[in-house]
Amino acid sequence: MTRTARRRTTRAAGPSWPRRVTGIASAQLPVAAMVRGAAGLAVPLLAGRWTESGALSVIAAVGALWGIGQDGGDAYPSRVRRLAWTGAAAALGCLIGVLALRSGQSAAVTVCLTVAAFVSGLISLRGRVVSVAGMHLLLGAVIGSGIPVPGPWWHPPVALLSGAVWVLVLSCAPWLWARYDIERATVGAVYRVAAEALERAGTPAAEDARRRLTDALDAAHHAMSRHLTPGTRPSRQTELGRLVRAFHVAVLLGEAVTTLLWEARPLEPAVTRVPLLLAGRLLPQRKDPAAPREDREDREVREIREVREIREDREDREVREAASGETGGPLSQRPDFAPDSPGLRALATVHEAAGRDRIDDVSLEPPTSRRSGRSAHLRYAALLALCVLITQWCATALDGPRGYWLPMTVAFVYKPDFGPLLRRALHRCAGTVAGVAAIGAVALLTDSTGAFIAAVAVFGALMAVGVRHHYAIATTGLTAVVFVLLDLLGDHRQLYWPRILDTALAAAVVLFLHFAVWPDSAAARAEQQTEAALAAALRYRDLAPDATPAQRHALRRAAYQQLGEARRAADHARREPSRPGRPLPDWERRIATAEHLCDLVTARALMTTAPSGMHPAHE
């Protein structure tokens, strides 16, 4: 039995205890992110305890906490951009909040939070990174105006920024020794998903397999984009050069696999094995297997590890033993199957082209995404500002302890661009209850400051898991951490029930106002995304016959990405309450029809022209 077969047998034996308890497989636990979450929170608190700067260390830990919420397993430039925007926006909001608080006027605090909420909402629908920045601008204003910190006015914003920068350093440090691991993993994922798709050809699961392949290709495009500047080509002898080559072959492979899935017939093992054999030959491997690897838990790293294991299988060993040189051997020959269809011919030619010296570059023009219009921005900004204003009034009227919890909950909950609003609000409430229960149990066991800092590290690691897998788990970790931070600030009041009630009140305000004033927002966005996706599919159909191979790749990527966004928007709209008596349109049927059209266009392109990159470019 091969190593890969033994691994699959082990997986089939049954779920491990983390999956039974949380629904998360142990192999999916983000170990590296959990370590970053623990260290990101514990180090500022320990430094504050050592330097006796308790209040500033708590503010720095809050910045680190928000940084952990934006940490991820994507490419390092994307992480830097997202975390930098998070820290800068939070520090700016904190500065505004501190100035409002030190004015001594409660009205100044209310105006500050309302204006920050309006600005946050105004920019939040303009893209993922800007949306994150807008949310943390409001959160920074809430913290700055809600937590008095002694000392100069600039201390809290700098402390908040330092916490976010600390997480940024932790998140991007592996770049020093694992520079291309993420890119290698995303490209390897394309080959693995392509092999799985070929195994499902001719079955009802083929359509879903094609969507996963499209998503994998899009992720590889994003990860590799900075290495594919037009006019530059890294040397093939370098790790980056081999990785770029593997990416270009992966794009060609995606076109061939799409055609084979459209042909809708079962394929022999000799065909389904081709993507993994290509991956085993083309993907560069780490020279030092003992070197640390970034984010072992992430999906991409698990996928590339499976590709490496397949290299140990008997078939791949035979291929390597038969290889006679860098461009010779099996990859310069057609695989052992009869290419009697356009898809099989394309796959055979991709297999052959992988052994050539040059492959045509792939256009990486990003697809134009259809964003919400100005009226939607204004409406969301006005509703977010109104929610913050109402909860701030409630905090003042109720005179509850730490009233900033109400507007802070609004900032976290009211993010319709982050998923279904109703589910987000319910998960926020459930996570708050779980976090209160967890930190209450810790408080019953000990009152040691060191033990509480250790608890912060544990809950920070839990939050890192929740960020990737479940919003309620992330809220559980965040709630418990905030309770400890308040305790370290010297507030030892019993705030368990007030925090639960405040969270429920803020969530209720958000849900009531949103569904009373803007109940069809998710449906309107789904309709808009569907129309944009249909237009992209028709553009691909009309332009593909006369397009160059690189242009055809760009058109196909734009169409499939728009279709994926439309499908996610439709799913979002289905999960939100709708007006009685007004059934939602059948977006899924229109999207599926457009997907079938794109598959047909791809297949016809391969019938009439040689697949792109099949002829080596001239030097």
HEC-encoded secondary structure of 49-102: HHHCCHHHHHHHHHHHHHHHHHCCCCCHHHHHHHHHHHHHHHHHHHHHHHHHHH
Per-position b or e across 27-60, b if 16+ CB within 10 A of its CB? ebbbbbbbebbbbbbbbbbbbbeeeebebbbbbb
Helix, strand, coil percent content, the chain, rounded in steps of 5: 75, 0, 25
Interhelix angle 239-263/206-224, rounded to 10 degrees, is 160
Taking Cα atoms as reference points, which of 217, 189, 247, 222 lies closest to residue 76? 222
Share the mean pLDDT of the chain.
81
In the chain, % of residues over pLDDT 70 = 78
Backbone φ and ψ of 180, nearest 5°: -115, 15
Taking Cα atoms as reference points, which of 142, 124, 27 lies closest to residue 85? 124
Rounded Cα–Cα distance for residues 60 and 600 (Å): 55
pLDDT at 287 over 70: no
Which letter does DSSP use for residue 357 in this model? S
Amino acid residing at 589 = R
Query: pLDDT confidence of 286, banded at 50, 70, 90?
Result: low
Rounded Cα–Cα distance for residues 546 and 28 (Å): 44
Mean pLDDT, rounded, for 318-346? 55
Backbone φ and ψ of 10, nearest 5°: -65, -40
In the chain, % of residues over pLDDT 90 = 41
- Spatial contact of 573 and 519, defined as CB atoms under 8 Å apart: no
> Which ranges constitute the DSSP H helices of 489-586?
496-517, 521-543, 549-574
What's the confidence (pLDDT) of residue 443?
A: 84
pLDDT at 324 over 80: no
Four-residue CA torsion sign, 101, 105, 110, 112: negative
pLDDT at 136 over 90: yes
Which letter does DSSP use for residue 225 in this model? G
Rounded Cα–Cα distance for residues 29 and 466 (Å): 10
Query: pLDDT confidence of 394, banded at 50, 70, 90?
Result: very high
As given in the structure block, the two tokens for residue 222 are 């994003």
Task: Tell the burial category of 100 from Cβ atoms under 10 Å away from its Cβ (0-12, 13-18, 19+).
Answer: buried
Four-residue CA torsion sign, 497, 503, 506, 509: negative
Query: pLDDT confidence of 23, banded at 50, 70, 90?
Result: very low
As given in the structure block, the two tokens for residue 421 are 């609003």
Amino acid residing at 358 = R
Rounded Cα–Cα distance for residues 381 and 378 (Å): 5
- Spatial contact of 55 and 162, defined as CB atoms under 8 Å apart: no
Query: pLDDT confidence of 314, banded at 50, 70, 90?
Result: very low
Q: Residue with structure tokens 């695989």?
A: 335
Rounded Cα–Cα distance for residues 244 and 184 (Å): 9
Task: Tell the burial category of 104 from Cβ atoms under 10 Å away from its Cβ (0-12, 13-18, 19+).
Answer: exposed
Q: Residue with structure tokens 């779980």?
A: 434
Amino acid residing at 470 = H
Query: pLDDT confidence of 616, banded at 50, 70, 90?
Result: very low
Where is pLDDT greater, at 488 or 511? Answer: 511
Where is pLDDT greater, at 1 or 608? Answer: 608
Rounded Cα–Cα distance for residues 286 and 17 (Å): 32
pLDDT at 614 over 90: no
Rounded Cα–Cα distance for residues 617 and 614 (Å): 9
pLDDT tens-digit map of 356-391: 555 555 544 544 555 556 788 899 999 999 999 999
Query: pLDDT confidence of 456, banded at 50, 70, 90?
Result: very high
Q: Residue with structure tokens 């010296």?
A: 357
Mean pLDDT, rounded, for 89-118? 94
- Spatial contact of 110 and 377, defined as CB atoms under 8 Å apart: no
How many CB atoms lie under 10 A from the CB of residue 200? Answer: 19
Report in angstroms the alpha-carbon separations of 348 from 67, 82, 337, 385: 47, 41, 8, 59
pLDDT tens-digit map of 558-598: 999 899 999 999 999 999 887 776 788 999 999 999 999 99
Rounded Cα–Cα distance for residues 338 and 352 (Å): 14
The pTM of this model reads 0.82
